[in-house]
Structure 1
Amino acid sequence: MNIDIDQSLRQILADVLGLSATQVAAFDAETGLFGHLPELDSMSVAGLLTEMEDRLGFIIEDDEVDGELLESYGSLLAFARAKLA
């Protein structure tokens, strides 16, 4: 099963945070997430990580979650790609 991690992650962000497809499509590696998107607050982080686990098929350990993980779209995408590598 070859999934497009980038597209899947964009869909998860749109679904969990209630963002428009247009907004999420404009994200690049430098796009800030936590602290930049009002929709992504401490309550929505858990939902986002749970959806990533469910849809992408990996487990995120507590010690893997830090500020850098959610700093930018690029860092989150790199994390997801590394988990699936």
Structure 2
Amino acid sequence: MYLNEVKNVLIDVLHLGEAGARLDADSPLLGSLPELDSMAVVTLIGALEEHFGIAIDDDDISASTFETLGSLAAFVAQKAA
């Protein structure tokens, strides 16, 4: 359920356009998407918080959270639960 919504937020924040449409759960994010730099991560976190009505603490975030689209979606699902 969360995968497509997280994907859409990611596409919007990073302005991925058509390239974003090809992302799936196994698509690597951090280190693989040049658009996903440290400032974009901060912006993305804010957008996810707003979209899903969740609060994400700095301590919650690790590199593994942003490893793949699937890991990011699972993180959001866990925070929203």
**Same topology, TM > 0.5:** yes
Q: Structure 2: which 5+ residue stretches go unaligned? A: none
Choose from 3, 15, 19 the match for 2:16: 19
> How many residue pairs were aligned?
81
Tell me the TM-score normalised to structure 2 length: 0.90
**Displacement, 1:8?**
1.8
Q: Is this contact kept in 1: 2:9–2:48, CA < 8 A?
A: yes
Distance in 1, matches of 2:8 and 2:25, equals 16
Q: Does 1:53 align with 2:49?
A: yes
- Divergent runs of 4+, >4 A: none
Deviates most, 22-31 or 65-74 = 22-31
Higher relative contact order (CA 8 A, sep 6+): 2
Output the CA distance in 2 between the equivalents of 1:28 and 1:7.
9
TM-score (norm 1): 0.87
Partner of 2:26: 30
